[in-house]
């Protein structure tokens, strides 16, 4: 309290902008980039320190690229995000991070990520540019076209897996890429479902393409893609080429993990208490997290078995 009886204005903490920028980078979404490690695990390079280091560097590069695209997406959608109960609180939509600051950070991350990918190899550099181009086209055009919007996001996951293989010079089974595409498409469709349920009549104000996603239609799509995902994984694990590559048919024993994971995830998205997006559910649901970790350990144990 001053001598005039008026309290001085409260100063904004110096680290507020940095904290808001960090939130805008969406580090909780970086789990999507774990797909770059598919080449490391299934390419049988997990026990090579050099390969692990290159995969970790690729993971960091794709975290930078995806965060840059999140910033660009938030800049473009900041007015529409105000129609969403959660996205309205994002720093850019809420006005806590200026468009200039967000744009500068996005440009730096984009340039740094692409430059870093070319340092690891021209092949990875080309894949990284393709990834950034794909998400840019999505942000400015494809996100307004039903089905193509979720399909583009799913292809982005495949590009991540391809990047992880390219940086190590290993091949990934076409079946594994199909499984990646279908799983990502499954997650994308369930996210659209939750947006329709959560936003109700305000859905089109936030994302106009949601007008094409009626609840019965999305549920039918989710059912089809979920079944296709599980069948594809089953075909991959039982494929003669898979057995020949790893010298065992034991990968078939890992099938219960995706079966449980997909079915539990379907149960959770029909529960109104579930989070608004796939990442929220994957991070918050302990049984699902245990299932994913268990699958990873089982796959690694079978591929790298000492006998």
29 CA to centre of own chain? 6
CB 153 within 8 A of CB 146: no
More confident call, 157 vs 305: 157
Q: Is the pLDDT of residue 12 over 60?
A: no
Q: What pLDDT score was predicted for residue 3?
A: 44
More confident call, 56 vs 201: 56
Q: Is the pLDDT of residue 270 over 60?
A: yes
Q: How confident is the model at residue 2 (pLDDT cuts 50, 70, 90)?
A: very low
Residues 74-102 have a mean pLDDT of 80
CB 269 within 8 A of CB 281: yes
Instruction: Name the pTM for this structure.
Output: 0.86
Q: What pLDDT score was predicted for residue 279?
A: 65
Q: How much of the chain, in percent, has pLDDT values that exceed 90?
A: 59
Residues 106-127 have a mean pLDDT of 96
Q: What pLDDT score was predicted for residue 11?
A: 42
Q: pLDDT tens digits, residue range 27-71? A: 888 989 999 999 999 999 999 999 999 999 999 999 999 999 999
**Listed range (17-26, 106-115, 256-265) with the worst mean pLDDT:** 17-26
Q: How much of the chain, in percent, has pLDDT values that exceed 70?
A: 89
Long-range CB contacts (within 8 A, 24+) of 211-215:
212/146, 213/146
Q: What pLDDT score was predicted for residue 275?
A: 53
Distance (Å, rounded) from C-alpha 84 to C-alpha 161?
31
For residue 121, give every residue at least 6 positions away whose Cβ sits within 8 Å of its Cβ, in sequence order, or none. Answer: 166, 167
């Amino acid at each position: 309290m001053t001598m005039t009886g008026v309290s001085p204005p409260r100063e904004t903490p110096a680290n507020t902008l940095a904290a808001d920028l960090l939130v805008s980078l969406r580090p909780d979404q970086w789990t999507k980039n774990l797909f770059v490690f598919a080449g490391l695990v299934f390419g049988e390079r997990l026990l090579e320190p050099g390969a692990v280091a290159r995969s970790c560097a690729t993971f960091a590069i794709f975290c930078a690229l995806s965060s840059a695209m999140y910033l660009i997406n938030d800049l473009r959608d900041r007015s529409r995000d105000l129609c969403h109960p959660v996205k309205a609180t994002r720093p850019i939509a809420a006005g806590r991070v200026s468009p200039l600051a967000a744009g500068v950070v996005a440009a730096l991350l984009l340039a740094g990520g692409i430059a870093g990918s070319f340092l690891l190899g021209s092949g990875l550099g080309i894949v990284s540019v393709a990834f950034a181009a794909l998400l840019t086209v999505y942000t400015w055009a494809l996100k307004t076209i039903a089905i193509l919007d979720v399909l583009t996001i799913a292809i982005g996951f495949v590009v991540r897996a391809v990047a992880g293989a390219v940086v190590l010079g290993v091949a990934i089974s076409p079946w594994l890429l199909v499984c990646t595409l279908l799983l990502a498409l499954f997650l994308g469709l369930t996210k659209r479902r939750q947006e329709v349920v959560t936003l109700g009549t305000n859905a089109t104000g936030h994302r106009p393409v949601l007008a094409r996603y009626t609840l019965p239609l999305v549920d039918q799509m989710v059912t089809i893609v979920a079944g296709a995902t599980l069948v594809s994984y089953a075909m991959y694990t039982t494929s003669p080429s898979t057995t020949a590559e790893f010298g065992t048919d034991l990968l078939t024993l890992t099938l219960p993990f995706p079966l449980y994971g997909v079915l539990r995830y379907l149960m959770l998205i029909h529960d109104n208490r579930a989070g608004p997006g796939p990442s929220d559910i994957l991070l918050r649901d302990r049984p699902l997290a245990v299932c994913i970790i268990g699958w990873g350990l089982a796959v690694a144990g079978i591929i790298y078995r000492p006998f």
